[in-house]
Amino acid sequence: MRAPATGPLPRLRADASVLHADLDAFFASVEQLDKPSLRGKPVIVGGIGGRGVVATASYEARAFGVHSAMSSVEARARCPHGAFLAPRFAAYRNASAQVMALLRELSPLVEPLSLDEAFVDLAAGEHDRAERQSLSPAAVEAIAGELKARVRQATGLTVSVGAGTSKLVAKVASDLDKPDGLRIVAPGEETALLHPLPISQLPGVGPATSARLRSIGVGTVGDLAALPESDAVGLLGRAHGRGLWLLAQGLDDRRVTPDRESKSVSVEDTFDVDIADPTRLTSIVEEMARRVVHRLRSAGLSGRTVSVKIRLQEFTTLTRSATLPAPTDDMRAVARLARQLLTEADTSGGVRLLGVGVSGLADWTQDDLFRSLSAGDPPSAAQPGDPGDAVDRATPAGPAEPRAARWLPGQDVVHADLGAGWVQGSGAGWVTVRFETRALGRPGPVRSFRVADPQLTPAPPAGPPGG
Ligand SMILES: [Mg+2]
């Protein structure tokens, strides 16, 4: 410890038993598996409209300087020959579910961060109960290596794995040898790993905090660790300053928490007098939606499930929620859904407390992607209380729905005679389909059809894992 601390210090676990698994170029990798002609080629999954952003670029596309969160326009300029595909969330959810199931075989404590990323607490798994010494760095490396092999066998995907004595170290480690990485940081080696990193690598260090730290000459994690704790607290406040200072020392005892519902951002207010005026309630809910979205954005998060909590006069508390097809941090989308949920409760007798929350958090935003994926299907069509239904209805529509004008690049289709394929492109009244599947294993033939060809229909959403 470089400097004395003002409070009790978190205790690090003795084993490198926190594991972080992160699928490599996840969306793009799924596309390359399902579309053999794209294997080894630059693939960019994202919003395909003028305002779209890149969700994932394959490593081949990254070589051209394309990366996630870049505008699709910019990505096209850098990599004009790349395959630009609309996302197929049903396929990604299925692959994700298979990987999460494999992680849960290692331990009941699995904390998904997004579709392609999760922490696993190996200390809660079988290995530990069998024999304590089995969680040596070498044993963790063997577990991680076996996990990588099983993920590849089950899904065809590569996953980068890091492990260490804390979430912070595990997450940093999983990024070190990407793609297909495997890095175990042995107990005692934490600060050697962390200290050279730029300060922005610490969770909770956004541009503003980073700028403040730089203003006092702190550029790396090690610089922060070398400060007296009181300086960090003086600059950043007690909770934030102390939290970051401890992380910089490698002292991170954040637990792996499998409860996804606890990962939410919400605001609520109790009123002095019950409110029954629907106009007033609506404006309160809108204001709360604004506050929630502001907090989401400042944490760099987005969420899929919007909830409204309503405590009625007689202390009955109702919760209404609806799930969007993809994470959003769009103020209007959250406010619209919250308003709608409010109208579904009988508030005529007066409301004592109102709350708005967003859960199902992710560290990415797919609003533009979703808009281009399902133009014409407002996200607010979600069914309260039945998130699964809402999710399924967000995937490309079934064959019954006429949608000839909306063929999206990457979309799965079925031709009555030629079988399964995917849309390579469309325009001027024509749609081009490549007839290939993962099972085919090699590039398939390409054919063009009139967009309204009745023999061509969208494929149903992919089935559940293993199905
Ligand atoms: Mg990833």
Name residues with Cβ closer than 5 Å to ligand 1, which is an ion.
22-23, 26, 116
Q: What is the pLDDT confidence band of residue 192, given thresholds at 50, 70 and 90?
A: very high
Give distance in angstroms: CA of 280 to centre of ligand 1. Answer: 43
Q: Which residue numbers are catalytic?
A: 117
Give residue-wise pLDDT tens across range 235-286: 988 888 999 999 999 999 888 887 554 467 888 888 888 899 999 999 999 9
pLDDT, tens only, 423-466? 999 988 999 999 999 999 999 999 999 999 999 999 976 655 54
Whether 363 contacts 329, CB under 8 Å: no
Greatest alpha-carbon span in the chain: 74
How far does residue 377's CA lie from ligand 1's centre (Å)?
A: 28
Q: Are 415 and 11 in contact (CB under 8 A)?
A: no
Expressed in angstroms and rounded, the spacing between residue 34 Cα and the centre of ligand 1 is 18
pLDDT at res. 321 = 86
Confidence of residue 337 (pLDDT cuts 50, 70, 90): very high
**How high is the pLDDT of residue 28?**
97
Q: How far is CA 338 from CA 12, 189, 369, 380, 414, in A?
A: 41, 47, 22, 10, 38
Q: What distance in angstroms lies between residue 116's CA and the mean position of ligand 1's atoms?
A: 5
Separation of 26 CA from ligand 1 center, angstroms?
A: 6
Q: Ligand 1 centre and the CA of 122: distance in Å?
A: 20
Q: Please give the distance, rounded to the nearest whole angstrom, from the Cα atom of residue 281 to the centre of ligand 1.
A: 41
> ∠ at Cα 191 (190, 194), nearest 5°?
90
pLDDT of residue 169: 96
